[in-house]
Amino acid sequence: MQEKMNPLKSTARIAGFWYLLLSIIGAYGLAYVPSQIMGEGNAASTVNNILTHEFLFRTGVVSQLISNTLFVLLVSVLYRLLKHVNEYHAKLMMAFVLVQVPIAFLIETFKITSLMILKGEIMKAIEPAQKQDLAMLFLNIHTYGTIILEIFWGLWLIPFGQLVYKSGFIPRILGVLLIIGGISYIIESLTFLLFPGSHALVSRYTSVCYSIGEIAIMLWLLIIGVRVRQDVTSGI
């Protein structure tokens, strides 16, 4: 009779589960909510959508707080899974995640601030047009903050990919895809900051690169777990 699921496989599947939750909740806050709220180049439309769909706007903020908490849980399980491959790279992977979490929490306060301004809860004396301008200022600060966070989203994938490549119990190709994805995140972020006019074009290609890598590793961890080897299970 086959042995029970070894600890390595169990740890990998837990990581895959956290990765899946992170992906769903993160996509909701980063893609779905903005698609419903943000009017392309139209501040008045954006402001109207925020006030009309206030609860949806607030759920976007909450989703980012939850997804970053899940990010910490994910990287802690991945550290446990991969630290025996190379402890330095495992610590580096974890550090790149942990350092961006406080920033992610902080920039969400700018979205709440914009809502408070539009509802007249703060800065009550200013004119409606000024309220709109201030609200959009805080939303733009949030946007730039998210773009800067993309650098860390890329940086953590590089040591993660190296660990996967060297692990021996996850296909090497997934490690290569993760490293490519990490570099793609960084390129996309720097393009937005340095050459904003080219961002839309560049992101068409970079988004494909990092999506393939992250979806592939997530599904592998969740469905397959690891390719079991006796010599790598004893240390978990």
212 contacts 178 by C-beta, under 8 angstroms: no
Q: Can you give the pLDDT at residue 228?
A: 62
Contact 148, 127 (CB under 8 A): no
Backbone phi, psi, residue 22, to 5°: -60, -45
The domain limits of the chain are 7-149+217-225
User: Mean pLDDT in runs of 10 for the chain (236 residues)?
Assistant: 63 96 96 90 88 96 97 97 96 97 95 94 85 93 95 97 95 97 97 94 95 96 78 45
Q: What is the pLDDT of residue 6?
A: 77
Q: What is the CA radius of gyration of the chain?
A: 20
Give dist(CA 168, CA 108) in Å, integer: 39
pLDDT given for residue 5 in this prediction: 47
Tokens read off for 64: 């980012």
